[in-house]
A and B are shown apart, each in its own frame.
Chain A
Amino acid sequence: MHRLSFIPGRLLQSIPVVFGVTLLVFFMAHLLPGDPALAILGDKATAARIDALRTQMGLDKPLIVQYGLFLGQLVRGQLGTSLTYQVPVSELVLEAAPVTLSLVFFALVLSLLIGIPLSGIAATKPNGFADLAVRGYTLIGQGMPQFWVGIMLILFLSLKLRLFPVGGYGQTAFDHFYFLFVPALTLAIALSPTMIRSLRSSTINVLGSEYVATARSKGSGGTELFRKHVLRNAVIPTVSILGVNLGYLVGGSIVIEKVFALPGLGSLMLNAIFSRDFPTIQGVTLFVALFVVVVGILTDVIYTLLDPRVNFGSKERE
């Protein structure tokens, strides 16, 4: 069987999850106190408009029909209309998503740049001084509120050293890169403890393996050994952790976007919360959750490509 032949099955497996996600987001409207149509249109809507939406949502029909109508809209890419801006929520989401996704991707790259060297140093001599220092970093790193790390970085990098702007997103592509550096660093600091823990323990395992001993006996050493023989094998378990954490990074960026005033999904959602713009909250939540499901599938594909031993098709996954 081809190694990637698990993909159709994996896609099939995620169908109930996608349905579950839409179901949960659908029920959000029904969990709100009062009439869902009123919640969606807001207090200022006229009785006629509320009635029209009630009919459109099928609020007088059974729940299952309402859910069907909701799904029908979703398939056409309709997430409703924002109460605040009076434009389709899908437009707002598509406008904000690139900011959040660039931030998340940038943070991922930075966390690898922090994590790989630190875990390499720590793993070369377990329980040595460097290892203890790196482990201390992971312990403290886990205990720091992300937004507070962001504020501290603003304090030192932006206000004291004046190296970076205190917030905003800039105009040009280069601006974006420059403006996103400190927010991405903040997220990377939050993610790196997880990554270092995983990389450190897998690197220790790889360093103790026979093929590394063989490579050493053939005269390989230093960074060459690390790059060619250790890194690729040590990174594999980390990929699956990173895949799951991408969803976490998106969640974290919601908070970080507030600290740095970035116009991403987080700001969109928080502003929507304070203006009680329910369709926008629903839209962002749904978009983010579906993104996480897709990333989960992609992670499995990358994992298989990296590790020839993994075969999701032949073996039941736990």
Chain B
Amino acid sequence: MSTPTAILAGFQAKRRSARSRSLKPWYQNGSLVAGMIIVGLLVLMAVLAPVIAPYDPIKQDLTATLQSPNALHWLGTDKFGRDVLSRLIWGAQVNLRIGFLAVLIPFVFGSIMGGLAGYFGGWFDAIVMRVVDVFFAFPFYVMVIALVFILGSGEASIYLAIAAVSWVSYAKIVRGEVLVAKKQDYVIAARLSGMSHARVLGRHIGPNVLSQAIIYGMSDIVMDIMAVVTLGYLGLGIAPPTAEWGSMILDGQEFITTLWQQATIPGLIVVVTSLGVSWLGDGLSDMLSPERRK
């Protein structure tokens, strides 16, 4: 599990080290390839869930509850007799979908706020940054849990809650990048040639500063997957009986003494997923760092 600050710190360290790296074609970039393979396989698993899952993930069979792994049920069955392997495979749909989609709103909103604040400065910047400070005072889970409560449970609430909490990181990153970019010659030249603010921001600054937000977005996906899994575990996520990894861990914890696999394996697949996404993000940050494009 990682924190926004952790990711920010790690991400700045990565940027520094990226500068010393040589220009390699993408397929020689080890972490990019490893990340692509892992994430690719997981996405394939999610998409093909209806085909490859041996059983219906929500169909109960009260004659076959709490089985240990066996030939019919490779990972056993849960307390409702549902096949754990099938739920694991179907869970990829919910967890990956929310994890990847949840970054979009905060990415767009945070980047716009940070970009405008950095570009125009003055009172707008001061207000935006104070608001950012206020949001930073609320620990991620405290805020997400409170918001999911207020907005009601369901997928839309999870998106909104995550957006409300995580836009501030994008705002901070993009603002910092814009502050640097707006002093560069190409921006000054663009302004002097009579271009409007909108055009300078959109066409000249935007493409140059967004790569950092994209790189951060990759680590944010890991955070969002964690958030979905954690909400599921707390009983505040996607409503049962939908297969979801966090609620599977919650169900498994009850029977940890006899069926340890049921809490362990969904957690392992979360670890593999975050590893894949992190590697993909590392690889992308190598490819996207501005030094490389020169």
Contact = CB atoms under 8 A, between A and B. Distances in A.
A176 B236 CA distance: 29
Contact of B253 (A139, A151, A194, A247): A151
B137 A285 contact: no
A120 to B, nearest CB: 17
B2 A194 contact: yes
A106 B206 CA distance: 44
Interface in A123-174: 139-140, 142-149, 151-152, 154-155, 159
A289 B149 contact: no
Contact of B131 (A20, A194, A269): A20
Contacts of B130: 16-17, 20
Contacts of A290: 137
Contact of B267 (A21, A151, A201): A151
Given A16-B130, A145-B1, A148-B267, A139 B142 contact: no
Contacts of B51: none
Given A31-B150, A142-B222, A155 B264 contact: yes
A81 interface: no
A144 B267 contact: yes
Contact of B274 (A31, A143, A245): A143
B267 A145 contact: yes
Interface string B241-256: 0000010010001001
A254 B256 contact: no
A288 B138 CA distance: 7
Nearest to A29: B150
B271 A245 contact: no
Interface string B127-159: 000110111111111110110011110000000
Given A194-B6, A248-B140, A289-B138, A258 B146 contact: no
Interface string A241-254: 10011011011101
A140 B137 contact: no
A255 B141 contact: yes
A254 B1 CA distance: 14
Interface stretch (B105-113, B207-215, B227-235): B227-235
Given A20-B130, A142-B6, A201-B13, A148 B138 contact: no
A148 B275 contact: no
Given A32-B150, A142-B6, A250-B139, A151 B263 contact: yes
Contacts of A252: 1, 139, 141
Given A21-B134, A155-B260, A197-B9, A251 B139 contact: yes
A40 interface: no
A190 interface: yes
B142 A289 contact: yes
B150 A28 contact: yes
**Size bin of chain A's contact surface:** 35 or more
B274 to A, nearest CB: 3
B232 to A, nearest CB: 10
Nearest to B249: A148
Contact of B263 (A23, A148, A194, A241): A148
B139 A139 contact: no
Interface in B189-205: none
B142 A145 contact: no
Interface string A225-269: 000000000000000010011011011101100110000000001
Nearest to A144: B271
For the residues of A in contact with B, the DSSP-based class is: helix
A193 interface: yes
B256 A155 contact: yes
Contact of A142 (B150, B273, B278): B278
Contacts of A149: 1
Interface in A1-43: 16-17, 20-21, 23-24, 28, 31-33
A241 B4 CA distance: 11
A254 B5 contact: no
A285 B141 CA distance: 10
Contacts of B272: 143
Contacts of A142: 1-2, 6, 222, 274, 278
A250 B229 CA distance: 18
A152 B1 contact: no
Contacts of A273: 145, 149, 236
A236 B136 CA distance: 22
A284 interface: yes
Given A147-B249, A151-B253, A255-B230, A248 B5 contact: yes
Contact of A148 (B3, B6, B146, B270): B270
A116 interface: no
Contacts of A193: 2, 6
Nearest to A244: B5
B50 interface: no
A198 B145 CA distance: 29
30 contacts: A20-B137, A23-B134, A24-B138, A142-B222, A143-B270, A143-B272, A143-B273, A143-B274, A148-B229, A148-B263, A155-B256, A155-B263, A191-B3, A197-B6, A201-B13, A241-B5, A244-B136, A245-B5, A247-B137, A248-B5, A250-B139, A254-B145, A258-B233, A269-B145, A270-B234, A273-B149, A281-B146, A285-B142, A285-B143, A288-B139
Interface of A: 16-17, 20-21, 23-24, 28, 31-33, 139-140, 142-149, 151-152, 154-155, 159, 190-191, 193-194, 197-198, 201, 241, 244-245, 247-248, 250-252, 254-255, 258-259, 269-270, 273-274, 281, 284-285, 288-290, 292-293, 296
